[in-house]
């Protein structure tokens, strides 16, 4: 039996202008799937501040459709094949954030890495290069405004933290062209993530084939215990 509900992604939860943040959308569907590991495929862009329909079935599948019934995003149970890499130290991750904030930022309102986002209105997650490596990393302490009443981050916020750092890794290390987008995101969450606690994000390149870039992102506690892991496919536009 299929169940459905109408929803709207708030306007501030965007990456590219007026386009809903991919990790957030993916996390919404993953929560409806109920599977331990979920793959989310993006078929069309999801606009913010526009009505969409979330549908789910009893087999771990979920979809988002637009007002015209066009399929936008679909999710299904999956298997994650990427192997996690050890997290960098908290001090190294903090140094990466300092490096990120010292540079010029051309995008300031992205839900993931926008410096101008108010606390609780964006992740304020700022990954940068770990010197001497091909790894992007960031120290991150989620704001209470991102959490539910118990202080835990909901899946859409955790999956958001698994999105932007992978894109940054692809832009820097495999020279991904501007305008690239998340085409698929597969992830699993192994333990709860709480506001006010310290976490380490790190991302690395898995493969590149033409316009396609495959990346991995891990989210760990400050002590290095793995909380969540993802593999994402980013695709460059045919015309940058």
**pLDDT at residue 2 is higher than 80:** no
Percent of the chain with pLDDT over 90: 90
Q: What is the pLDDT of residue 68?
A: 86
What mean pLDDT, rounded, does the chain reach?
Answer: 95
Q: Output the pLDDT for position 211.
A: 96
88 CB-contact burial (10 Å; exposed 0-12 / middle 13-18 / buried 19+): buried
165-221 residue pLDDT tens: 999 999 999 999 999 999 999 999 999 999 999 999 999 999 999 999 999 999 999
| pLDDT for residue 57 is more than 80 | yes
Question: With respect to CATH, is domain 3-77 assigned 3.10.129.10?
Answer: yes
Q: How far apart are CA 19 and CA 111, in angstroms?
A: 11
Q: What is the pLDDT of residue 42?
A: 97
Residue 210 region by backbone torsions, left for phi larger than 0, else alpha for psi between -120 and 50, else beta: left
| pLDDT tens-place string over residues 72-124 | 999 999 999 999 999 999 999 999 999 999 978 778 899 999 999 999 999 99
User: What is residue 138's predicted lDDT score, i.e. its pLDDT?
Assistant: 98
- List the beta strands (DSSP E) in the chain: 3-8, 37-42, 51-56, 62-65, 71-77, 128-129, 135-140, 181-189, 199-209, 212-221, 226-235
d(CA 183, CA 41): 6
- Residue 179 gets the label, from left (phi > 0), alpha (psi -120 to 50) or beta, of left
CATH 3.10.129.10 placement within the chain = 3-77, 90-235
Q: In this structure, are residues 198 and 221 in contact, taking their beta carbons and an 8 Å threshold?
A: yes
The runs of H, that is alpha helices, within 134-211 are 155-161, 164-173
- The answer to pTM > 0.85 is yes
Work out the average pLDDT over 234-239: 91
In CATH terms, the superfamily for domain 90-235 is Hotdog Thioesterase (3.10.129.10)
Q: Which helix (H) or strand (E) holds 92?
A: helix 90-102
pLDDT of residue 188: 98
Over 13-36, what HEC string results? CECCCCEECHHHHHHHHHHHHCCC
Look at residue 161 and give its three-state secondary structure: helix
CA distance 23 to 125: 13
Residue 161: predicted pLDDT: 98
More confident residue, 220 or 238: 220
State residue 240's pLDDT score: 56
């Amino acid at each position: 039996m299929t169940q459905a509900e109408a929803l709207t992604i708030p306007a501030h939860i965007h990456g590219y202008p007026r386009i809903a943040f991919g990790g957030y959308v993916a996390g919404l569907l993953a929560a409806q799937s109920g599977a331990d590991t979920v793959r989310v495929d993006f078929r069309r862009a999801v606009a913010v501040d526009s009505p969409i329909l979330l549908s789910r079935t009893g087999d771990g599948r979920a979809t988002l459709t637009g007002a015209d019934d066009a399929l936008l995003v679909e999710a299904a149970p999956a298997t994650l094949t990427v192997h996690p890499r050890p997290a960098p130290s908290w001090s190294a991750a903090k140094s990466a954030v300092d490096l990120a904030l010292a540079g010029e930022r051309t995008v300031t309102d992205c839900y993931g890495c926008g410096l101008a986002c108010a606390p609780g209105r964006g992740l304020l997650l700022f990954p940068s290069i770990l010197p001497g490596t091909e790894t992007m990393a960031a120290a991150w302490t989620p704001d209470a405004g991102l959490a539910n009443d118990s202080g835990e981050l909901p899946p859409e916020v955790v999956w958001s933290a698994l999105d932007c750092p992978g894109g940054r890794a692809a832009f820097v290390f495999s020279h991904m062209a501007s305008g690239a987008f998340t085409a698929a995101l597969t992830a699993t969450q192994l333990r709860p993530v709480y506001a006010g606690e310290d976490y380490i994000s790190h991302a690395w390149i898995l493969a590149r084939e033409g316009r396609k870039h495959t990346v991995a992102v891990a989210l760990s506690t400050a002590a290095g215990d793995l909380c969540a892991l993802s593999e994402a496919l980013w695709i460059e536009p045919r015309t940058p």
